[in-house]
Amino acid sequence: MAASPVTTERDSWATRMGFILAAVGSAVGLGNMWRFPYVVSEGGGAALVVLYLAIVALVGIPLMTAEFVVGRLSQQSPLVAIPRLGRSRAWAPLGWLFILCGFGILSYYSVIAGWTLRYAFDAIRNAIPSDTAAYFTAASTGVDAVLLHLLFMAMTIWIVVQGVRKGLERSVLVMMPVLFLLLIGLAIWSGTLQGGSEGYAYYLQPDFSALSRPGILAEAAGQAFFSLSLGMGALMTYASYLRSKENLSREATVVALSDFGVAFTAGLVVFPVIAAFALRDQVSDSTVGALFIALPKAFEGLGRTGDIVDTAFFVLLFVAALSSAISLLEVVVTACIDRWGWSRGRAALLTGGLITVLGVPSALDLNFLDAMDKLTGNFLLLVGGLFTAILVGWRIFPEADAELAQGLRSPALRRVWGILLRFVAPVILVAVLFSAAEPTWRAIRTLLGIG
């Protein structure tokens, strides 16, 4: 890193495109490919997609804008920025909550990413057996799962060590185009399947009665936060490396809609496959395993086509996971750099190593993994999002509004942002948190081994 003579240089994005792609890379991940189709099939298909989109628009985009604003305003890790901006130590726990989520989510996320590596290797060697349920059981827990989790963490650490411009930005400039091409290719292939139309119908024709199911709002909101990388300062951290004064609400809209576009397209890949190969039962049986059991089953017996398609699919999953994992680790690493003055290498190796160790129980026990996902990936993100909305909407609103105004000139649009952030988002989030309390309590019991 070339230090400028005047200031001690903090890393930054080289281009606007680099920042946007990195944010899209963070958002687009296993959440889109693996979790979205599963949540949609639980929640009754197209009706959930509509509800999901409403939450993205009313809560997701305003909150993402708020995270971007705090990041660029402070030019610092949220761990340092939050108590400073909030002008009180009482805000410090929010910064720590973000760090906790970074540790918690990455620890199991990397385990799932390890499965995608294993599947990609075996797909290339044409070695996925026809009993895909047994194969999943063997691949998802045990020594192999631990080793692949290790390998995946090593790659994540490797990229983060290189820094924002040389590591993150350069790698997403390669990864994201690959991801988009693979995804579009797969969606086109899915469209050629005989008998896939039933899948499209389920996915695209809303049955709104499904929305009366209890807990559905919490599920859609949790999914939105996870998929958009909201509620733990990941995008805040990315924006802290922004110098230029672009319109942050426009960037947030681009990122959120790209993320939705990818999730939606992933549905266009998965649902016709499920219908064409009659895999509905397998998908609803297993939660975390749905995609990993059902899809290879479908690709089996397709001969050469199947070999190419399953390799493409799992490489896609892996790329998506890697560009998300680096953002999770970056939250923790930037915090160590800004708060304690650690070097980037030291921060990435030490915290990445600790996260690797923390992930081992998830690689040995699916129930543990599932409970970690429920607690950190659902509940804690919503808590973090609620307090972020309160901080930005109520405690520092004039400053935040002025920062946003640097790129967003229209007072009317800023007023809309203010209303959504200050009133609509907190009300929805409080309602959601109440309905998420019960499953969260169950998850905590599982993690403590008393469930």
Task: Pick the piece of the chain touching ligand TRP (CB under 6 A) from 43-51, 65-73, 78-86, 226-234.
Answer: 226-234
The residue (of 196 and 359) whose beta carbon lies closer to ligand TRP is 359
Q: Give the residue with the Cβ less far from ligand TRP, 86 or 385.
A: 385
* 258 lies in the binding site for ligand TRP (CB under 6 A): no
- Kindly state the tokens that stand for 93: 């726990």
* CB of 430 vs ligand TRP, minimal distance in Å: 20
Applying CB under 6 A, does 63 fall inside the site for ligand TRP?
A: no
328 belongs to the binding site for ligand TRP (CB under 6 A): yes
Distances (CA, A) of 438 to 44, 142, 218, 443, 445: 21, 30, 11, 9, 11
HSE, side-chain direction, 13 A CA sphere, residue 76: 14
Who contacts 248 (Cβ-Cβ below 8 Å, separation ≥6)?
A: 65, 68, 69, 72, 239, 403, 404, 407, 408
Cβ contacts of 342 within 8 Å, gap of 6 or more: 336, 350
C-beta of 224: minimal distance to ligand TRP in Å?
10
Is the Cβ of residue 69 or residue 128 nearer to ligand TRP in the bound state? 69
CB of 196 to ligand TRP, least distance (A): 25
Considering the complex, state which of residue 203 and residue 226 has its C-beta at the smaller distance from ligand TRP: 226
Query: Is residue 314 involved in binding ligand TRP (CB under 6 A)?
Result: no
Token match 């004064």: residue?
245
Burial class (CB in 10 A: 0-12, 13-18, 19+), 394: exposed
Buried b (16+ CB within 10 A) or exposed e, 268-287: bbbbbbbbbbebbebbeebe
H or E stretch covering 190: helix 170-191
293 near ligand TRP, rule: CB under 6 A: no
Among positions 366-385, residues that touch ligand TRP (CB under 6 A) are 381
Q: What is the four-CA torsion angle of 294, 300, 305, 311, rounded to 10 degrees?
A: 60
Which stretch, 27-35, 111-119, 304-312, 411-419, contacts ligand TRP (CB under 6 A)? Answer: 27-35
Binding region for ligand TRP (CB under 6 A) out of 186-194, 212-220, 324-332, 406-414: 324-332
* Of the residues 23, 26, 119, 356, which one makes contact with ligand TRP according to CB under 6 A: 26
**By the 8 A CB rule, do 370 and 111 touch?**
no
Regarding 79 and contact with ligand TRP (CB under 6 A), the answer is no
Please count the residues of this chain forming the interface with ligand TRP, following the rule CB under 6 A.
Answer: 16
Q: Restricting to residues 31-50, name those near ligand TRP by CB under 6 A.
A: 31-32
Among 18, 29, 37, 385, binds ligand TRP (CB under 6 A): 29
Q: Which of 232, 236, 389, 425 binds ligand TRP (CB under 6 A)?
A: 232
Residue with tokens 């946003």: 404
313 and 266 Cβ atoms separated by less than 8 Å? no
- For residue 147, what is the enclosing H or E element? helix 143-161
* Distance in Å, CB of 233 to ligand TRP, minimum: 8
Between 76 and 388, whose beta carbon lies closer to ligand TRP? 388
Query: Is 76 or 229 the residue whose CB approaches ligand TRP more closely?
Result: 229
Contact call for residue 420 and ligand TRP (CB under 6 A): no
| Token output for 214 | 């209890």
Stretch of 132-140, 274-282, 305-313, 320-328 contacting ligand TRP, by CB under 6 A: 320-328
Q: What is the dihedral of CA 331, 382, 403, 166, to 10 degrees?
A: 20
User: CA-CA distance, 346 to 350, in Å (whole number)?
Assistant: 6
Q: What residues make contact with ligand TRP under the rule CB under 6 A?
A: 26-27, 29-32, 105, 226-227, 229, 232, 234, 324, 327-328, 381
